[in-house]
Structure 1
Amino acid sequence: MCGICCSVSFSSEHFSKDLKEDLLCNLQRRGPDSSRQLLKSNASYQCLFSGHVLHLRGVLTAQPLEGERGDVFLWNGEVFSGVQVEAEENDTQVMFNCLSSCQNESDIVSLFSEVQGPWSFIYYQAFHHHLWFGRDFFGRRSLLWHFSNLGMGFCLSSVGSHASEVANQWREVPASGIFRIDLKSTSVCKSVVLKLYPWRSISKENVTKDCEDSLARISASLPAFVSVAANEARLCLKEPVAPLNVLLPPAPAAALRAGIAGSPPAGETLRALLADGHTQEVVGRFIAVLSSAVRRRVLCLPREGARPPGAVLETRDRKAKVAVLFSGGVDSMVIAALADRHVPLDEPIDLLNVAFMTKEKAAPASSNSKGRKQGKCAMPSEGSTPDAAAGPEKRAGAPDRATGRAGLKQLQAASPARAWNLVEINVSLEELQELRRARIRHLVQPLDTVLDDSIGCAVWFAARGAGCLVAPEDVRPYRSQAKVVLTGIGADEQLAGYSRHRARFQMHGLEGLNREIEMELARISSRNLGRDDRVIGDHGKEARFPFLDENVVSFLNSLPVWEKANLTLPRGIGEKLLLRLAAMKLGLTASALLPKRAMQFGSRIAKLEKSNEKASDKCARLQVTSLENLSIEKETGT
């Protein structure tokens, strides 16, 4: 993962050879292993490229890369399939080599049609004066754009700037395809024309209308001097996933019986469904494709070589390479169980469990009824090391803490040889407010709702991984060093996990449910993924999304909707039915029966500061005021 940025200026008066300090710091936190800038000057324009690398694969490759012809490449992504990348190779270099061999725009479009995995990129073609950029189909990597009010330049960046005068002008680059700008033409015309190469599904009949609708949506959020148009050759990228199965043939008998056969205990219902041969086959295929997705996301990591014979590391000295955002719910439990299949057995897996507390929920350390020693453990403050933490242990009564501890016991029972590190991350109201103001709100922007605030803050503190490690004999401060963070996002969207899915089903049946699922996937890039990538990446860690692996999505899209969810069944069974059956088959019975609980409620951050606000309300806590920014400028002397 990387922080990438390209600042373009068409006016020598407004050109700067350096990025603003706050923007540079934001980018450097994403890529702590290498930082480099490159300036490309032309009579008509200047481009400042800035690359900041988090090294995860192959040989450390500094960015930006520059080719013999003067081309420049910035890559924030992972190639998991579609383009051949050997184990010892770096995918940034491989992608640049492929781009350098492209003969025309059709070749470039074909290349990005083949890549499977999360990505955003910026590619400068010196000879043609073209700047290409974009995000993958789901928008799993953040990329923002900001156009100068004076029309004298623009900036593309993984993250935005804090300054109040520009903070509200950053927007997410839509995951609608890839874009191309003719820099030389722009400098002459004094207006920016974005040429779009959109994603195209072979199953859609009216491609022209879809493209026109996409162009209209993008144009609505752009300044007057910026326009967007379809590329002249009408080239499209091939959508990387199979179209959604919206057919509604008669459901298999087993699925129908489950919906009408009274109200047996939930466990019995799931076991009865698993007894059906067809259901067993579908569940087995789902586990296999999801397991492969997890495997791709946990094996492409730098690991130490084999230890000498007889050399043994104490459990507390082993470092986890992989962490899971962990609530103990069915999504994170299945991800953790599948990671256990592929992460080397002598390597711990960190389970990151976050809870928010008010002052009255803090309690002094004490011994429990079993006599387990309760060591002093306070959250490490920002910038501190785990060993520096001291003070009374803060206990949290958040629902996700209880399910997290129960989930840990299930995982320990299923894989006792694995060191499972349940990292209990307790966040006080004071720390939440302090770090939201200083860091988190700038990462959540340009999203701005109460829901964005709640989830953005919860994910940021969870991904930081600074908390307490609860062992059988003691409790000690711990900070996760894992650079890869697995998250279960995408499960609810595809498997009807939200209450709105049940409401739509009750009103419009399976046809309405299909439309809701289709809409969820179409908007996940703008609602979730860019924000989560910015928030997790701020710790020099990379978010990886197994449920949004192209093969997983294609498999789930191929199934009729009733094999993924059966909303005639009660809450806690019917939603995400396929995933619950998979959890049962993996031996995670208790987690398979847990109802869906949103992260903002499970972690207790929702309503923590204001009880009468709605999730869709604009959140004042995320705003950056001019007065506040002026104070910051005075303090820093900028």
Structure 2
Amino acid sequence: MCGICCSVSFSVEHFKKDLKEDLLYNLKRRGPDSDKQLLKSAVNYQCLFSGHVLHLRGVLTTQPVEDDRGNVFLWNGEVFGGVKVETEENDTQIMFKYLSSCKSEADILSLFSKVEGPWSFIYYQASSHHLWFGRDFFGRRSLLWQFSNLGRSFCISSVGAQISRGTKPWQEVPAAGIFRTDLNYAASSRYVILNFYPWKHISEENVTEECITVLTQISTDLPAFVSVVMNEAKLYLVKPVVPLNMMSCQASPETHCRKISSVPPTRETLQVFFTDEHMRRVVHQFLDILSVAVKRRVLHLLRDRDLPPNVILKSCDRKANVAILFSGGIDSMVIAALTDRHIPLDEPIDLLNVAFMMREKTMPTHLNRQKQKDHCETPSEEFSTNAGAVDGDCLDDKVPDRITGRAGLKELQTISPSRVWNFVEINVSLEELQKLRTTQICHLVQPLDTVLDDSIGCAVWFASRGIGCLATPEGTKSYQSAAKVLLTGIGADEQLAGYMRHRVRFQTLGLEALNEEIAMELGRISSRNLGRDDRVIGDHGKEARFPFLDENVVSFLNSLPIWEKADLTLPRGIGEKLILRLAAVELGLTASALLPKRAMQFGSRIAKMENNKEKASHKCGRLQVIS
């Protein structure tokens, strides 16, 4: 994880030797292990590159990196496959080495088409004065752009900052492809042309109409002096996943539906599916591919055993290197069980469980005092005294995700009793939510601005911060997760019909419409979720990793007909995410395999904290803070 930024100026009076203080501060929070700035000046433009590194693998490589020809590279990504990176190597160095050897545009596109894993990058070619930038196919790493009102400058950055009145807002760089601009031409003409290289399946013969639509969408909110055009050579990036199987007519009889349609959701109900040899094989294939995806994301970290030989840690002093955003639901439970397979058994795993809790207005004073003794005091950057512990006058047994989280912890302890599972209870008061939204979270969620963005952005920020408390045999104690890698289950609902809108769509219009809904979900996940979540989690100097969006996982799920992934003729708790529930059964999970979907904003109860009459799609006034 890194914070990367390039500020380009075209007029001498706007040349800068440093970034604005608030933007620099936000970038440094993303990359606390090293930072550096590099100024590249030409006759009529200036580029200020700023890199801030979170060190996770290989040799610490300070960014930006520059070669002997003056080319400059900023990389915020993880190479999990496609391009060979040895265990002891740093992927920034490897990617830059390959980029420096590219002889043509086609070579550059071929390189980025191969990379498996999340990335965003900025690459300056000194000899041609070209600036390249973009995000991976799913948009798992944030990248924003901001263009000045008068065409004198623009900025590309992992994260933005609060804007003042009269300043153009930050916008997300679309994850529809990568972009290249000629800085010499832009400086002389005062007109920025962004050459666009879209993602495309090799089998797609004619995508002109789709490209025109994408170009129109990208150009809508750009100023008049910026235009996006298809690259002249009509070159493209190869999509890293296979096309979605749109088959909507089930060939085989619906035997399972007849067997269990009238039976309530139970583990035995799910076991019926394993009597079908084909379904059993599909589930095992899915579990194997997902397991490899998790393995890629939890190995090759800087662990305690990488410390100098003279440093010996006691078992109780070992820190978790991996944390999971954990509700106890099916997605986070499967990820936790698979993580347990792949990391050393003497290494704890942090389960981060967030709850937003209101004060109980009618609680008698003497009961309040007693509960306050029993509750933990949680450390906080802003609230060192009460720290989101809500002073005990709240009932976390009313918070759904806390209930399922504790139940999920017991299941994990049953299937892996030797593992230390740190169930981190993160309690957030209304006071702390309102203060830190204004001072820390607001600019991270932007440019997204709905009530839903506010709820999920705040919930993920507090959860990923990892400040809470642990229940131990010696009593409750305050705790802060030191894990730099956070696994999240995002992508499961989108691919496996996990949302209620999928069920409504299926019941109204059938399988074909359900397939279309899933295709739309995957197509918009970059702009709807991933950029925001990357900015929010990265603000703590931590890196979000998404096993369900591993290219091989998505390709496998895309290859299956819809009825092998979900069967919405079956009741909630079975039909949606069916293949994942069956995988959970194979992992030895019990009650969690049957939990219906519950959205984070409701499970954590953040949606109950403030204005209950708001709709999720409405613009959120609480995010419209202008400094």
Change (3 A) 1:581 1:365: farther
Q: Is the 8 A contact 1:120 1:141 kept in 2?
A: yes
> 1:537 corresponds to which letter in structure 2?
G
Change (3 A) 1:255 1:141: farther
Hey, what does 1:584 align to over in structure 2?
585
Q: Is the 8 A contact 1:436 1:457 kept in 2?
A: yes
Runs of 5+ in structure 2 lacking a partner? none
Question: Which deviates further from its counterpart, 449-458 or 199-208?
Answer: 199-208
Hey, what does 2:485 align to over in structure 1?
484
Alignment partners' CA distance in 2, 1:252 and 1:581: 19
Q: 1:431-450 maps to which residues of 2 (within 5 A)?
A: 431-450=432-451
Alignment partners' CA distance in 2, 1:242 and 1:71: 34
Change (3 A) 1:280 1:365: farther
Hey, what does 2:290 align to over in structure 1?
290
Hey, what does 1:635 align to over in structure 2?
none
> 1:538 corresponds to which letter in structure 2?
D
Q: Is the 8 A contact 1:459 1:532 kept in 2?
A: yes
Q: 1:3-152 maps to which residues of 2 (within 5 A)?
A: 3-152=3-152
Hey, what does 1:636 align to over in structure 2?
none
CA apart distance, 1:184: 0.2
* 2:209 matches 1:214: no
Alignment partners' CA distance in 2, 1:489 and 1:250: 28
Fraction of identical pairs, as percent: 68
Alignment partners' CA distance in 1, 2:549 and 2:387: 38
CA apart distance, 1:253: 3.8
Change (3 A) 1:608 1:259: farther
Q: Deviations over 1:531-562 (max 9, x none)?
A: 00000000000000000000000000000000
Alignment partners' CA distance in 1, 2:276 and 2:420: 35
CA apart distance, 1:191: 0.7
> 1:33 corresponds to which letter in structure 2?
D
CA apart distance, 1:375: 5.5
CA apart distance, 1:391: 9.1
> 1:420 corresponds to which letter in structure 2?
W
Q: Is the 8 A contact 1:160 1:167 kept in 2?
A: no
Alignment partners' CA distance in 1, 2:333 and 2:370: 30
CA apart distance, 1:168: 5.7
Change (3 A) 1:167 1:402: farther
CA apart distance, 1:267: 2.4
Superposed CA RMSD in Å reads 2.2
> 2:319 corresponds to which letter in structure 1?
K
Hey, what does 1:301 align to over in structure 2?
301
CA apart distance, 1:44: 1.3
Q: Is the 8 A contact 1:179 1:197 kept in 2?
A: yes
> 1:302 corresponds to which letter in structure 2?
L
Alignment partners' CA distance in 2, 1:282 and 1:348: 32
Change (3 A) 1:344 1:220: same
> 1:545 corresponds to which letter in structure 2?
F
Q: Deviations over 1:503-541 (max 9, x none)?
A: 110111110000000000000000000000000000000
Q: 1:389-428 maps to which residues of 2 (within 5 A)?
A: 392-393=391-392, 395-396=395-396, 397-428=398-429
1:88 aligned counterpart, secondary structure: coil
> 1:560 corresponds to which letter in structure 2?
P
Alignment partners' CA distance in 2, 1:59 and 1:609: 46
Q: 1:450-529 maps to which residues of 2 (within 5 A)?
A: 450-529=451-530
> 2:448 corresponds to which letter in structure 1?
L
Hey, what does 2:347 align to over in structure 1?
347
Q: Deviations over 1:231-260 (max 9, x none)?
A: 011000000001101113434446553577
Q: Is the 8 A contact 2:433 2:458 kept in 1?
A: yes
Alignment partners' CA distance in 2, 1:173 and 1:622: 20
* 2:612 matches 1:611: yes
Change (3 A) 1:408 1:309: farther
CA apart distance, 1:365: 7.2
CA apart distance, 1:12: 0.7
CA apart distance, 1:66: 0.6
Hey, what does 2:257 align to over in structure 1?
257
Q: Is the 8 A contact 1:410 1:588 kept in 2?
A: yes
> 1:380 corresponds to which letter in structure 2?
P
Alignment partners' CA distance in 1, 2:548 and 2:554: 7
Change (3 A) 1:215 1:311: closer
Hey, what does 1:633 align to over in structure 2?
none
> 2:357 corresponds to which letter in structure 1?
M
Change (3 A) 1:594 1:182: same
* 2:360 matches 1:360: yes
Question: Which deviates further from its counterpart, 573-582 or 264-273?
Answer: 264-273
Q: Is the 8 A contact 1:196 1:229 kept in 2?
A: yes
Q: Is the 8 A contact 1:387 1:477 kept in 2?
A: no
Q: 1:551-562 maps to which residues of 2 (within 5 A)?
A: 551-562=552-563
Q: Deviations over 1:561-618 (max 9, x none)?
A: 0010000001111111111111111111100111100000000001310011000000
Alignment partners' CA distance in 1, 2:378 and 2:166: 34
Alignment partners' CA distance in 2, 1:560 and 1:466: 42
Q: Deviations over 1:414-460 (max 9, x none)?
A: 00000000000000000000000001010000000000000000000
Alignment partners' CA distance in 1, 2:585 and 2:54: 37
Change (3 A) 1:166 1:458: farther
CA apart distance, 1:161: 1.6
Q: Is the 8 A contact 1:365 1:392 kept in 2?
A: no
> 2:2 corresponds to which letter in structure 1?
C
Q: Is the 8 A contact 2:355 2:402 kept in 1?
A: yes
Alignment partners' CA distance in 2, 1:359 and 1:420: 29
1:165 aligned counterpart, secondary structure: coil
> 1:201 corresponds to which letter in structure 2?
H
Alignment partners' CA distance in 1, 2:624 and 2:178: 30
Change (3 A) 1:385 1:419: farther
Alignment partners' CA distance in 1, 2:200 and 2:553: 19
Change (3 A) 1:566 1:392: same
Hey, what does 1:248 align to over in structure 2?
248
Q: Deviations over 1:288-323 (max 9, x none)?
A: 0000000000002111227989977243x2200000
Alignment partners' CA distance in 2, 1:620 and 1:388: 25
CA apart distance, 1:364: 4.6
Alignment partners' CA distance in 2, 1:437 and 1:543: 23
Runs of 5+ in structure 1 lacking a partner? 368-372, 630-638
Change (3 A) 1:365 1:536: farther
Q: 1:594-605 maps to which residues of 2 (within 5 A)?
A: 594-605=595-606
Change (3 A) 1:259 1:37: farther
1:584 aligned counterpart, secondary structure: helix
Alignment partners' CA distance in 1, 2:421 and 2:252: 39
Alignment partners' CA distance in 2, 1:376 and 1:264: 38
2:478 aligned counterpart, secondary structure: strand
> 2:335 corresponds to which letter in structure 1?
I
Q: Is the 8 A contact 1:71 1:125 kept in 2?
A: yes
CA apart distance, 1:386: 11
Q: 1:366-405 maps to which residues of 2 (within 5 A)?
A: 377-382=376-381, 392-393=391-392, 395-396=395-396, 397-405=398-406
CA apart distance, 1:2: 0.1
* 2:621 matches 1:620: yes
Q: Deviations over 1:315-366 (max 9, x none)?
A: 3x22000000000000000000000001111000000000001122897575
Question: Which deviates further from its counterpart, 306-315 or 167-176?
Answer: 306-315
Question: Which deviates further from its counterpart, 242-251 or 181-190?
Answer: 242-251
Alignment partners' CA distance in 2, 1:444 and 1:387: 25
> 1:64 corresponds to which letter in structure 2?
P
1:360 aligned counterpart, secondary structure: coil
Task: State how many pairs are aligned.
Answer: 620
